[in-house]
């Protein structure tokens, strides 16, 4: 069979691909236009409409901050988008990159930091660099895809030998069990142990149990890597992250975060002891064989970090909105799970006995109503990621939202929940286009 024909066969049943016809350009790959912030325009195949946006990880509202926009523009005007040309190691090193690294190391309370061009690839590379075939990785079951890809790469080097152990999400008893096994294993291989978790789990907003994990350091010999993509800038008294929040940053051996969330940029960094950072600089394949972070981004990131460190108003505004929306949802009887971070999941429950298609149809209609009739834009997660009949909304508050936005949103959720409970979103087939085409989205 021709490879492309085979790929097209696979596409028909792929997890997300199978919904392409009913979702592409609206539920998937939506186009948000205008200046980044809570009020943007949503372009669909049927027109453009204003929406209240709760789907960007622009936690501190820095993406469209006037000082940030000015720094970005000045960086672009001075250096152009191409500079520096080449990978850091070859021809892409600059004083600005080093200055940004010094600022990041200070912020993350580590002796040294290394700026990377993309978070996802960097995480794969960090894992690839830090462990070899004799070492064991112990990781949380809900680890992000970039951590999993790093673990897959490690697996591929271990010749079929089981060298990675997963523990159920945040389950410290099971983590300890896995650490016992890992300790036994490395005694045989002569290797070492790396534990990996996220600081803030980005889907449900709960925190990695960093206190529990670091307490285990008294009993077991391991190093800890955390991916704090959602905690950097948002958690802890100074925004220094989830380690700072728990008061255990000194026990985090490798602290990783991306600039794609609170940093409102692109790229990321890893912070640790200086010799380890030097080793990573010299060995991370995703950095040695790929281009350095462009200059305007580096200049803009320095400005972002300066604002994050000198002006608490960004974090204060963020948490004001987080508390208002989370307390508001709870007061009105909504289930927001176990979040302890700005990430706000809202769980609603449709018909658990419906077929797969009926479940998707009900969730689709609910989101359609929320977007078309209430102008509220957020992402949803449906079965099979959550149990059948459950719809999880992922609401991301930012410092740029207002209390009026919060009130409007909670009222819209209340009305939609009432309709869901009355069974008004039920349908046999997933067909958003007919309603959208007719201009009549009514439930």
Ligand X SMILES: Cc1ncc(COP(=O)(O)O)c(C=O)c1O
* Interface of this chain with ligand X, residues 88 to 147, rule: CB under 6 A: 118-120, 123, 144, 146
CA torsion, ordered 408, 53, 328, 65, to nearest 10 deg: -110
State the first-to-last Cα distance of the chain, in angstroms, to the nearest integer.
46
- Between CA 361 and CA 302 the distance in angstroms is 46
Which stretches within 284-385 are classed as H helix? 285-288, 295-310, 313-331, 356-374
Nearer to ligand X, 228 or 372 (CB): 228
Give me the least distance between CB of 306 and ligand X, in Å please. Answer: 21
Nearer to ligand X, 359 or 378 (CB): 378
Nearer to ligand X, 141 or 352 (CB): 141
Give me the least distance between CB of 144 and ligand X, in Å please. Answer: 4
Nearer to ligand X, 62 or 123 (CB): 123
- Residue holding tokens 């658990």? 352
Integer-rounded Cα Rg, in Å, for the chain is 23
Nearer to ligand X, 293 or 416 (CB): 293
Burial of 25 (0-12, 13-18, 19+ CB in 10 A): middle
* Residue 78, H or E segment: helix 66-79
* Interface of this chain with ligand X, residues 141 to 180, rule: CB under 6 A: 144, 146
Give me the least distance between CB of 324 and ligand X, in Å please. Answer: 24
Give me the least distance between CB of 57 and ligand X, in Å please. Answer: 8
Nearer to ligand X, 198 or 362 (CB): 198
Near ligand X by CB under 6 A: residue from 61, 202, 208, 294: 202
Site string for ligand X, 306-345 (x = CB under 6 A): ----------------------------------------
- Residue holding tokens 């691909």? 17
Contact present, 326 and 344 (Cβ < 8 Å): yes
Residue nearest to ligand X (CB): 119
Nearer to ligand X, 185 or 245 (CB): 245
Nearer to ligand X, 153 or 427 (CB): 153
Give me the least distance between CB of 90 and ligand X, in Å please. Answer: 22
Residues forming a β-bridge with 345: 394
- Between CA 314 and CA 373 the distance in angstroms is 31
Give me the least distance between CB of 280 and ligand X, in Å please. Answer: 16
- Determine, following the binding rule CB under 6 A, whether residue 198 of this chain makes contact with ligand X: yes
Near ligand X by CB under 6 A: residue from 142, 227, 253, 362: 227
Nearer to ligand X, 74 or 149 (CB): 149
* Count of CA atoms in the C-beta half-sphere (13 A) of 138: 28
- Between CA 218 and CA 292 the distance in angstroms is 39
Report CA-CA distances (Å) from 377 to 160, 372, 373, 409: 45, 9, 11, 10
Residues forming a β-bridge with 344: 395
CA torsion, ordered 222, 227, 230, 235, to nearest 10 deg: 30
Near ligand X by CB under 6 A: residue from 236, 239, 268, 342: 268
Give me the least distance between CB of 260 and ligand X, in Å please. Answer: 4
Give me the least distance between CB of 356 and ligand X, in Å please. Answer: 27
How many other C-beta atoms can be found within 10 angstroms of the C-beta atom of residue 383?
A: 18
| Pairing of β 193-198 and β 136-140 | parallel
Give me the least distance between CB of 28 and ligand X, in Å please. Answer: 16
CA 392, distance to chain mean position in Å, is 16
Nearer to ligand X, 146 or 410 (CB): 146
Nearer to ligand X, 284 or 420 (CB): 284
Give me the least distance between CB of 264 and ligand X, in Å please. Answer: 12
Q: SS3 helix, strand, coil % of the chain, rounded to 5? A: 45, 15, 40
- Determine, following the binding rule CB under 6 A, whether residue 430 of this chain makes contact with ligand X: no
Near ligand X by CB under 6 A: residue from 23, 52, 260, 308: 260
Q: How is residue 118 written in tokens? A: 């993309």
- Determine, following the binding rule CB under 6 A, whether residue 258 of this chain makes contact with ligand X: yes
- Between CA 227 and CA 230 the distance in angstroms is 8
Give me the least distance between CB of 263 and ligand X, in Å please. Answer: 9
- Between CA 412 and CA 329 the distance in angstroms is 11
- 154-169 in b/e form (b: 16+ CB < 10 A) is bbeebeeeebbbbbeb
Nearer to ligand X, 344 or 360 (CB): 344
Q: Give the number of residues in contact with ligand X, rule: CB under 6 A.
A: 13
Give me the least distance between CB of 408 and ligand X, in Å please. Answer: 27
* Interface of this chain with ligand X, residues 21 to 50, rule: CB under 6 A: none
List interacting residues with ligand X (CB under 6 A): 118-120, 123, 144, 146, 198, 202, 227, 229, 258, 260, 268
């Amino acid at each position: 069979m021709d490879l492309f024909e085979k790929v097209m066969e696979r596409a028909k049943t792929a997890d997300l691909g199978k919904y392409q016809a009913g979702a592409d350009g609206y539920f998937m790959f939506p186009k948000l236009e205008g200046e980044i912030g809570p009020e943007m325009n949503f372009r669909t195949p049927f027109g453009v409409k204003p929406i209240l946006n709760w789907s960007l990880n622009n936690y501190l509202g820095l993406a469209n901050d006037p000082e940030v926009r000015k720094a970005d523009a000045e960086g672009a005007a001075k250096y152009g988008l191409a500079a520096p040309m080449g990978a850091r190691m070859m021809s892409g090193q600059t004083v600005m990159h080093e200055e940004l690294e010094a600022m990041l190391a200070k912020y993350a309370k580590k002796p040294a930091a290394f700026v990377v061009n993309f978070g996802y690839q960097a995480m794969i590379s960090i894992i690839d660099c830090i462990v070899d075939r004799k070492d064991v990785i112990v990781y949380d079951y809900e680890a992000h895809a970039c951590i999993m890809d790093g673990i897959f790469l490690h697996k591929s080097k271990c010749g079929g030998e089981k060298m990675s152990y997963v523990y159920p999400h945040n389950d410290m008893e099971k983590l300890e069990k896995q650490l016992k096994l890992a300790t036994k294993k490395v005694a045989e291989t002569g290797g070492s142990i790396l534990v990996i978790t996220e600081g803030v789990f980005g889907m449900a907003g709960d925190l990695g149990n960093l206190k529990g994990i670091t307490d285990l350091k008294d009993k077991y010999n391991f190093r800890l890597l955390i991916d704090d993509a959602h905690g950097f800038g948002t958690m802890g008294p100074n925004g220094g992250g989830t380690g700072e929040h728990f008061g255990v940053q000194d026990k985090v051996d490798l602290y990783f975060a991306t600039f794609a969330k609170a940093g409102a940029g692109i790229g990321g960094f890893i912070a640790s002891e200086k010799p380890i950072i030097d080793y990573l600089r010299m060995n991370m394949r995703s950095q040695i064989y790929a281009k350095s972070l462009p200059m305007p981004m580096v200049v803009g990131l320095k400005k972002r970090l300066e604002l994050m460190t000198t002006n608490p108003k960004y974090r204060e505004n963020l948490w004001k909105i987080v508390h208002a929306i989370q307390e508001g949802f709870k007061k009105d009887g909504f289930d927001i799970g176990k979040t302890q971070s700005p990430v706000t999941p809202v769980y609603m429950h449709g018909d658990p006995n419906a077929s797969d298609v009926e479940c998707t149809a009900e969730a689709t209609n609910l989101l359609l109503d929320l977007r078309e009739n209430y102008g509220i834009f957020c992402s949803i997660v449906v079965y099979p990621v959550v149990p059948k009949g459950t719809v999880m909304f992922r609401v991301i508050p930012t410092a740029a939202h207002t209390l009026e936005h919060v009130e409007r949103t909670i009222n819209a959720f209340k009305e939609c929940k009432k309709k869901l409970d009355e069974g008004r979103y039920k349908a046999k087939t997933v067909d958003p286009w007919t309603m959208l085409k007719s201009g009549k989205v009514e439930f």
